């Protein structure tokens, strides 16, 4: 049995799942409570630790405006305990599951995904190999990638 699995939960989270995700974020000081309450509405996939059945991470895709257009912006959070080298290799799988879930829903905005990559373990070459192109970067060395879906 795989140690982790992805569950597509876009616009289908139960109240219990929402509370579990808010608790994950706030207990690890990822975001303040008021931000977590707002952000949980944009969860697309939950990452489940199969042996315990617990949600250990999520991907989110809130719509945001950049350069006058709205895009889905991809983000991912994984519990600090489960961040290890073997899990890092699964990040493209989680990203693709998020894209697929959004494509199969009624999109709120254009079908373009914008991804902020601030994790140095995700290499630039990997993003380009997976079909992403650079959209923008900023003074904090964050790189924004874009992918047409």
Q: Is 59 helix (H, G, I), strand (E, B) or coil?
A: strand
Distance of CA 67 to the CA centre of its chain: 22
Go through the domains of the chain in sequence order and give each one's CATH number.
4-148 (3.40.630.30)
The mean per-residue pLDDT over the stretch 96-121 comes to 68
Residue with tokens 């049995």: 1
Q: What's the DSSP call for residue 3?
A: S
| Rg (the chain; Cα; Å) | 15
Q: Model confidence over 29-66: pLDDT tens digits?
A: 998 999 999 999 999 999 999 999 999 999 998 887 77
Tell me the β-bridge partners of 123.
none
pLDDT at 118: 53
The mean per-residue pLDDT over the stretch 98-117 comes to 69
Tell me the β-bridge partners of 75.
60
CA distance linking residue 16 with residue 118, whole number of Å: 30
Confidence of residue 103 (pLDDT cuts 50, 70, 90): confident
């Amino acid at each position: 049995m795989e140690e982790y699995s992805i569950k597509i939960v876009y616009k289908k989270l139960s109240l219990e799942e929402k509370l579990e995700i808010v608790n994950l974020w706030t207990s690890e000081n990822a975001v303040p409570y008021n931000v977590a309450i707002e952000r949980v509405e944009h969860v697309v996939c939950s990452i489940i630790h199969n042996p315990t059945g617990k949600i250990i991470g999520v991907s989110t895709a809130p719509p945001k405006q950049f350069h006058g257009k709205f895009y889905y912006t991809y983000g991912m959070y994984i519990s600090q305990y489960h961040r290890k080298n073997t899990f890092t290799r699964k990040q493209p799988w989680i990203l693709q599951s998020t894209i697929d879930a959004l494509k199969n829903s009624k999109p709120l905005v254009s079908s373009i995904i914008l991804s902020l990559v601030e994790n140095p373990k995700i290499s630039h070459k990997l993003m380009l190999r997976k079909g992403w192109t650079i959209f923008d970067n900023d003074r904090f060395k964050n790189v924004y990638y874009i992918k047409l879906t």
